[in-house]
Homo-oligomer: A and B are copies of this chain.
């Protein structure tokens, strides 16, 4: 899927370009960003609560996620990030990271020093705008997740999450037709939805029975896009992506 001789930050550039249309100057500035590439194994901690990493990560390939743990050991997944996402802990301004960031799948990350990013923002206000807009959209997604976990039932929560991942995967150019990589185990779907893995399993079976979606072996296949959206009370506008048009087909 990844072009062979492509710049490591190309996925990030494409994503930011979707956020705010970039010019040649900004793209060049992004390509010149200092960074080093690292592979992380599935499950590996990338940032731990309390860390002060001092850099952001651009996802070159794979999936990572943010999570937070209660005093009782309950785990809540806060967000899932994919190909092209810029993931920061913002420890520079906050003192230290207030949550964990872990690899959902084996992933390749480009570590970019926060100072270099800030310098690029100063030199290129359009870049600052693009990243700012991207952060605001992440906030919008977080609000939708809170609504999802707080006010929807188990079936809606799971269906909603599948819809969101489909639209975002489509926008990122991952997968094709109505088939996408699915990086989460059922236990992780539960951790993101505020459910147990057992109940998550039963919901997924019911979605399968109703011929809305096929989910397993690391991939999703959307069988009935309209039906799935209805089942999940899903309206894509909060994602601020235009590309879900293709999914409708």
Contacts and interface: CB of A to CB of B under 8 A. Distances in A.
A156 B70 CA distance: 11
B240 A143 contact: no
A77 to B, nearest CB: 8
Q: How many copies does the complex hold?
A: 2
A75 B146 CA distance: 11
Contacts of A241: none
A140 interface: yes
Q: Is the interface of A mostly helix, strand, loop or mixed?
A: helix
Contacts of A75: 151
Contacts of A144: 68
Contacts of A152: 70, 72, 74
A70 B147 contact: yes
25 contacts: A66-B143, A68-B144, A68-B146, A70-B147, A70-B151, A70-B156, A71-B235, A72-B152, A76-B146, A76-B150, A78-B146, A78-B147, A90-B136, A90-B139, A93-B132, A93-B136, A94-B133, A94-B240, A95-B240, A98-B237, A142-B143, A142-B146, A149-B149, A149-B194, A150-B193
Interface of A: 66, 68, 70-72, 74-76, 78, 90, 93-95, 98-99, 129, 132-133, 136-137, 139-140, 142-147, 149-152, 156, 193-194, 233, 235, 237-238, 240
